[in-house]
């Protein structure tokens, strides 16, 4: 119970630490965290939201392990063969390990600003609603500590099951200058499987976090999460003995929150009139492992609107 409370406080603190003006209203995180089993709480979309409001992914992508093109790690076409008027960056901005390769595929950032792929036909962008089908087997492979060969086999099968429409497939072949999508599916399975051996070099669950951040950034309507939550529901999000009425209640709460019209709640963005503007001297910040450090908490500023 104490452990769970600390994790919830970490999320509350992180959300408040993002500051006023966050693109995603705080009330929309309601119902996105608590339904997950402890071992799977890093699959909550809240993790993706937090990652986008901190510099974790941005720093890895813009200041991480990139350099000359290395054929072991696929380099995004926006880096190697950019649009006319832009210089190729294959001598300086190609991934040097599997984890940086994954993050670059999700956030190419070719112009030097942290960003998602510009084309809607880009592989991950075109398949954003189906990424739960990659997220789940990857997460399981990490939990089971599968060796590379086994993880590759599982992930290659998962990538192969994604439904890619004809127009997106044609656009991908053109942009990547390939004859068939097996090139991409093979390379994606390789970097995801290979990243499992790099866990000690990055924050725990960074690949899952990157996928969730990518989906959160590109989804502005609740329907965009329907497929993901359906994929997660029976397998990871609830204990097997969870009553169906509880599952249905949670789904309705989630749908309602994600479809709300964005608005600012004064109590979520400013301290209560009876609350000091800053913490008392004897109020230490909260140590939050999931955020990689201390999270300052202002007494009285945790909004009643936030029910995780």
What does the DSSP assignment read for 13-61? HHHHHT-TT-SS-GGGGTTSSTTS-GGGGGGSHHHHHHHHTSSHHHHHH
pLDDT at residue number 294:
36
Contacts 24+ apart (CB under 8 A), 90-97: 92/66, 92/67, 92/68, 93/66, 93/67, 94/66, 94/67, 94/68, 94/69, 94/70, 95/65, 95/66, 95/70, 95/191, 96/65, 96/66, 96/67, 96/70, 97/65, 97/73, 97/194, 97/195, 97/198, 97/201
Q: How far is residue 133 CA from its own chain's centroid?
A: 14
Angle separating helix axes 56-63 and 98-106, nearest 10 degrees = 110
Q: Give mean pLDDT, residues 280-291.
A: 38
Q: Is 90 left (phi over 0), alpha (psi -120 to 50) or beta?
A: alpha
pLDDT class of 257 with cuts at 50, 70, 90: low
Which tens digits make up the pLDDT trace of 233-247?
A: 655 556 556 666 766
Q: What is the model's pLDDT at position 12?
A: 41
Over residues 54-85, the pLDDT tens digits come to 889 999 999 999 999 999 999 999 999 888 87
Query: What's the pLDDT score for residue 128?
Result: 86
Using 50, 70 and 90 to split pLDDT, how confident is the model at 37? low
Q: What is the pLDDT of residues 5-32, one digit of tens each?
A: 444 445 444 444 433 223 445 555 555 5
Q: What is the pLDDT of residue 34?
A: 57
Burial class, 70, CB count within 10 angstroms (exposed 0-12 / middle 13-18 / buried 19+): middle
pLDDT band for position 142 (cuts 50, 70, 90): very high
**CA quadruple 86, 90, 93, 98: dihedral sign:** positive
CA nearest neighbour of 189 among 157, 223, 227: 157
How far the first Cα of the chain sits from its last, in Å, is: 15
């Amino acid at each position: 119970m104490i452990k769970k409370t600390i994790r919830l406080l970490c999320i509350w603190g992180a959300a408040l630490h993002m500051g006023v003006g966050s693109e995603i209203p705080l009330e929309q995180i309601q119902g996105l965290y608590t339904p997950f089993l402890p071992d799977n709480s890093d699959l909550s979309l809240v993790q993706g939201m937090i990652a986008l409001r901190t510099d974790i992914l941005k720093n890895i992508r813009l200041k991480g392990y990139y350099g000359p093109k290395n054929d072991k790690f696929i380099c995004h076409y926006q880096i190697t063969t950019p649009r006319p008027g832009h210089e190729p960056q294959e001598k300086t901005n190609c991934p040097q390990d599997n984890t940086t390769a994954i993050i670059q595929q999700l956030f190419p950032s070719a112009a030097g600003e942290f960003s998602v792929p510009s084309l809607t036909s880009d592989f991950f962008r075109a398949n954003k609603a189906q990424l739960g089908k990659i997220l789940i087997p990857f997460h399981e492979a990490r939990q089971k500590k599968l060796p590379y060969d086994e993880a590759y086999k599982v992930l290659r099968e998962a990538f192969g099951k994604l439904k890619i429409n004809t127009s997106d497939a044609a656009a991908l072949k053109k942009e990547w200058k390939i004859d068939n999508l097996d090139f991409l599916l093979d390379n994606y399975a390789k970097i995801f499987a290979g990243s499992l051996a790099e866990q000690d070099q990055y924050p725990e669950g960074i690949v899952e976090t990157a996928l969730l951040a990518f989906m959160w950034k590109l989804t502005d309507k609740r329907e965009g999460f329907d497929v993901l939550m359906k994929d997660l529901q029976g397998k990871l999000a609830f204990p097997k003995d969870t009553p169906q009425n509880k599952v249905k209640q949670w789904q309705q709460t989630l749908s309602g929150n994600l479809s709300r019209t964005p608005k600012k709640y004064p109590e979520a963005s400013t301290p209560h009139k009876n609350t000091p503007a800053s913490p008392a001297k004897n109020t230490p910040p909260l140590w939050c492992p999931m955020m990689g450090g201390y999270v300052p908490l202002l007494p009285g500023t945790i909004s009643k609107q936030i029910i995780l």
